[in-house]
Amino acid sequence: MRHYGLFSKNPRDWLKHMEKQKEKSKGIIRLTASNSGETKCIVFVDSLLKARQSLEPHVNTVVAHYPFIGAFGVHCSVHKLTDLATLPCVKAIAPHTTVFTCIKDAKTLLHIPEFNQKIGYGKGITCAVIDTGLNPHIDLILGKKVIFKDFIGGKKMPYDDNGHGTAVASILCGNGLLSNGENAGIAPVTDLVVLKAIGGAGEGGAFAILEAMQWIFDNAETLKIKVVCMSFGSEPVADGVDPLSIGAEALWKKGIVVVTSAGNDGPSENTIKSPGINPYVITVGGVDCEQGTGCMMQGVGAVIDRTNNNNHTIALSTFKGDCPPCDMDCTAEQSGTGSLFLEQQLSSHNNNIHKKKCLSPLRYDNPITIAEFSSRGPAGKFNKPDIVAPAVDIVTAGIDQNYITQTGTSMAAPIVAGSIALLLSKKPNLTPDRIKELLLNSATPLPYPKTHCGAGLLNLAFLEEIKL
């Protein structure tokens, strides 16, 4: 029987913990109570069927039940927390956290890669997005199956009163029709399930997020949902009792690849948001490809220079002209003072990289940098984020105009989620663990701490060369 944390029998410790978290996070995570002393919490129990009857005398309202993690969402008087926590069926009590979309404003253009011409367009794959909803934008409703579920207003038809969910979905799988394909998403023919669990102000509660996760858990096999993108985050709940992290892990173990944004609280350390703190899920940080000749993502990662026997220089910088035709002893002329280099011994799982010809590299007038806002790890004892992707000035579908630009780790996560959809369209039997391994092993290393960039920059070019 799994034990979720130390708050299972001592509500006073929980209240003290929440007050510390409130002070630490400047109110982002809150234990709120009405004038009557009512608070929201998530109660983990041994058995849903047996526990509900025991819980009801000690709570004001049972808001929802989440069988996939064995928990109830309840409204409870703070004066009854002691009685609630001492029930034999109660394993742990966690606070009801607030999630926020991980986005900032932006100005310039990111061209969505055309690398799907080599791998595919995501046909036959269904991706889910938990977010603020979906605007019925032409790029998102034509040529694909779309399912919409509203956990906020209960509406049947798709809508997005914020725009964040529409942006995330368009990066993942927009078809780019209104731009003649220029602003197409990563996997433009992937089918889409959008679950609105975040309100128009860009924030939502854990109850609705968990309901959306439960819905995915229940419908994944019927709808063939293979990937879920969660471009939001809340302050983590300590001691292994974080409901969003537990829910994301349950989806992963069911065979669904969970991709989350790292958060926008950088450059401070230890700022990864939940559910990105979970060691299983793929947590995505953001990089700033300063606009030069472009940030095209295709061919990212570049040139291997075999000059020092076992030490290889990987250049992530500008090139004059195309990379010359070469074999594994290749070099390329670099230009500019902003070139980035990383000297490293290539590990055994990357040995195949220097056995191939050099790919056409991306040309940069400026180096790749970790976006200042991108949250840094570690997350407990785990290095996070796992990988990074472009997160600054990304072109997305809008709700009041055809296209806008957006910035934030929310924009990086669907780039990775869409790339996974491409992989699955080619190899549908890949497991979440194997997909994560492939992505991390093929990433382009960056000269920053792993707690800032994880394995490095998402690299579809090298990924195509890896034997699946």
Quick: pLDDT tens for 396-437.
Answer: 999 989 999 889 999 999 999 999 998 899 889 999 999 999
Please tell me the least confidently modeled range out of 37-41, 215-219, 424-428: 37-41
Average pLDDT over residues 76-84: 84
Question: What is the C-alpha to C-alpha distance for residues 448 and 370, in angstroms, rounded to an integer?
Answer: 8
259-292 b/e (C-beta count within 10 Å ≥ 16 → b): bbbbbbbbeeeebbbbbbbbebbbbbbbbbbbbe
Given a contact cutoff of 8 angstroms between Cβ atoms, the answer to whether 186 and 418 are in contact is yes
Pairing mode of beta strands 146-150, 191-196: parallel
Question: What is the C-alpha to C-alpha distance for residues 415 and 290, in angstroms, rounded to an integer?
Answer: 17
- Which amino acid type is present at position 320? K
The class (CATH top level) of 101-107+114-285+375-387+397-444+451-456 is alpha beta
pLDDT for res 94: 86
At residue 39 the predicted structure's pLDDT band, cuts being 50, 70 and 90, is: confident
Question: What is the C-alpha to C-alpha distance for residues 190 and 125, in angstroms, rounded to an integer?
Answer: 5
pLDDT for res 365: 40
346-358 b/e (C-beta count within 10 Å ≥ 16 → b): beeebeebbeeeb
CA atoms within 13 A on the CB side of 345: 3
Question: What is the C-alpha to C-alpha distance for residues 134 and 194, in angstroms, rounded to an integer?
Answer: 7
123, 186, 187 from 117: Cα distances, Å: 12, 10, 10
Q: pTM of this prediction?
A: 0.75
Residue 460 or 441, more confident: 441
Number of H helices, E strands in the chain: 12, 21
Please tell me the least confidently modeled range out of 103-117, 178-192, 217-231: 103-117
pLDDT for res 465: 62
Which of 223, 262, 258 has its CA nearest to residue 431?
258
Question: What is the C-alpha to C-alpha distance for residues 421 and 349, in angstroms, rounded to an integer?
Answer: 23
The residues of the chain that CATH labels 3.40.50.200 are: 101-107+114-285+375-387+397-444+451-456
Strands lying side by side in the sheet with 403-407? 104-105, 403-407, 394-397
Cis peptide before 428 (omega within 30 of 0): no
- Which amino acid type is present at position 408? G
Strands lying side by side in the sheet with 303-308? 303-308, 311-319, 334-345
Average pLDDT over residues 226-235: 95
Average pLDDT over residues 14-41: 48
pLDDT for res 466: 60
199 pLDDT more than 70: yes
The residues of the chain that CATH labels 3.30.70.80 are: 6-96
| CATH numeric code, 6-96 | 3.30.70.80
Average pLDDT over residues 336-342: 29
340 pLDDT more than 50: no
Question: What average pLDDT does the chain have?
Answer: 75
Question: What is the C-alpha to C-alpha distance for residues 194 and 283, in angstroms, rounded to an integer?
Answer: 20
Average pLDDT over residues 252-272: 96
Q: Identify the top-confidence range among 216-220, 237-241, 356-360.
A: 216-220
Residue 313 or 80, more confident: 80
